[in-house]
Amino acid sequence: TTVQQCLFCHSYAPGYIAKQYEFGTLMHGIHYSGPGKGKFEGDYEGSCMSCHNGTENGEGLQLWDLTKYERLWGINKVENVQGDFSIDQEMTQSQDEVFSYDWMHAYYDNMRHGAGVNGLNLEMPQSLFDNWEITIEGNVPNPYTAKLPDLIAEAEEAGVVVNKTSKMVCNWNPVGGGGVTNTEITGIPVSWLVEKAGGYLDDTTGVRVMRADGSSKRAFPKDKLDDNEALLVYKIGGEYLDATRGYPCTNWVEGVDAQINSKQVASYNVTNEDIDYTDKWAGNPNAWQNEAGDMMNKPNATILGVPDGLIVQNGQPYTFNGYVDGYDQQIASVEFSMDQGETWTKFDLDETDVNKMVWWNFTWTPEKEGAYCLTVRATTADGLTSYETQTVMINAKDVMPTPEQTTVLETASLVPAPTADATAEEEK
């Protein structure tokens, strides 16, 4: 997690945060008050300049993480950087790797949070799966309720079960973020379930997805039914769902915000309501907009697995990798820069599947020792270019450090996890 990602959520997010543009209040409170009071200045010898950069350009105290690559000396610039580029849309993540934001929703889902998110990995009862019921109701001639295993057996017999690679993206996934998934799903088309109810009536506009506990009532438009992009999913990666992923079944709609993928779905209510399907509360928007209406993360071009200052072998090929995603828009091109955006090397993409992630690889060879920065951006077929870009820095060394010169960090946290003894001592 980077400051850039924190700012994405804690700048302008009406409906999610109480006050807009309050990141500074949040961070200064964490540093100087509450449970951390005294630790920042004392244990870590921190000061304002630990996080900020002061200049004479009238910009005041800037966040160091946002300006550091412009301030650091000795970064090698490579004009029109060259390398080997490739993409892959079939690479999938296992069920354990599928992202989940349940930590945001635990207040209404203690069972799933306790069983999955807290690392207990409890085995879910088979009886829950065997007795789970799905209801199709609303704007259909013949509403019905059926048990999930019976629906699966009937769908398998009819040959309509879908097994495919599909992506899921959070509307709020920041540049550099992990709120995106490409995985193998197995499920029943919701269109087939609706057909069993006699099909939808002529004035139908979409379908409301109802969780068993009533905590989600989001809807998706009728065209998702017609295009078979809405599925009742009961397996991910060839395995029945675990607690975190919504055992025993979850809704899955392609090409829209992941919030519509209601876990533990119990009913589909076909509706003729006049719903704004781009609204972030009722529907399923694609991408996050700032106050000016700019798409902050559409397209999203992200570099993965490069901690700042990563040491690589000079003169040897190094492969950067990441993903680009345009939500409901196809990615048209990916561009790389190694001179902080002065020049860009562009790679055009052939026709890609908008319902799958675009994983990319860029192999480049440093020619002299020193630091280098790689920046990535993308363009969609509809003409959108990355509003925000991500930059990472690596250090090419002629002589790599020995194991004795290397410190292996056991955790990314600056604060060690409390031990049972330490907790007991504090309680005294």
pLDDT tens-digit profile of 84-104? Answer: 999 999 999 999 899 887 666
pLDDT of residue 185: 98
Do 223 and 120 sit in the same domain of this protein? yes
**Residue 419 binned pLDDT confidence (cut-offs 50, 70, 90):** low
pLDDT of residue 327: 92
Domain stops at, among 204, 238, 271: 271
- Give yes or no for residue 111 having a pLDDT over 70: no
Do 180 and 250 sit in the same domain of this protein? yes
Tokens matching residue 292: 């000016």
Q: Is 60 helix (H, G, I), strand (E, B) or coil?
A: coil
pLDDT of residue 92: 96
Residue 392 lies in a domain: no
Which is more confident, 334 or 32?
Answer: 334
Q: Is 400 helix (H, G, I), strand (E, B) or coil?
A: coil
Residue 90 lies in a domain: no
Residue 36 lies in a domain: yes
Q: What is the per-residue pLDDT across 34-88, written as a single tens digit (0 to 9) for each?
A: 877 888 888 888 888 889 998 888 888 899 999 999 999 999 999 999 999 999 9
Do 56 and 168 sit in the same domain of this protein? no
User: φ and ψ at 338, to 5 degrees?
Assistant: -125, 20
Query: How long is the chain?
Result: 428
Do 108 and 161 sit in the same domain of this protein? yes
Do 126 and 61 sit in the same domain of this protein? no
% the chain with pLDDT above 70: 90
Q: Is 222 helix (H, G, I), strand (E, B) or coil?
A: helix
Over residues 155-171, the mean pLDDT reads 96
Q: How many domains does the chain have?
A: 2
In contact, 62 and 55? CB cutoff 8 Å: yes
In contact, 119 and 252? CB cutoff 8 Å: no
Q: Which helix (H) or strand (E) holds 396?
A: strand 390-397
Mean pLDDT, the chain, rounded, equals 89
Do 120 and 196 sit in the same domain of this protein? yes
Q: Which of 216, 218, 204 is nearest to 283 (CA)?
A: 218
Do 59 and 125 sit in the same domain of this protein? no
pLDDT of residue 422: 47
Residue whose pair of structure tokens reads 């309680």 in the numeric block? 427
Do 64 and 124 sit in the same domain of this protein? no
Interatomic CA distance for residues 254 and 61, integer angstroms: 43
Residue 4 lies in a domain: yes
Do 16 and 130 sit in the same domain of this protein? no
Q: Which bin fits 159, alpha (ψ -120 to 50), beta or left (φ > 0)? A: left
Domain stops at, among 271, 303, 333: 271
Residue 223 lies in a domain: yes
What CATH number corresponds to the domain at position 230? 3.90.420.10
Sign of CA dihedral 102, 105, 107, 112: negative
Do 64 and 105 sit in the same domain of this protein? no
% the chain with pLDDT above 90: 63
The number of angstroms, rounded, from the C-alpha of 200 to the middle of its chain's C-alpha atoms is: 33
**Residue 423 binned pLDDT confidence (cut-offs 50, 70, 90):** very low
Residue whose pair of structure tokens reads 């580029």 in the numeric block? 85
Q: Which pTM value belongs to this model?
A: 0.88
Interatomic CA distance for residues 362 and 376, integer angstroms: 10
User: φ and ψ at 278, to 5 degrees?
Assistant: -100, -5
Tokens matching residue 221: 């438009």
Residue 261 lies in a domain: yes
DSSP state of 212: T
Which is more confident, 34 or 113?
Answer: 34
pLDDT of residue 411: 66
Domain stops at, among 244, 271, 298: 271
Give the domain range for residue 181. Answer: 95-271
Residue 302 lies in a domain: no
Residue 88 lies in a domain: no
In contact, 357 and 173? CB cutoff 8 Å: no
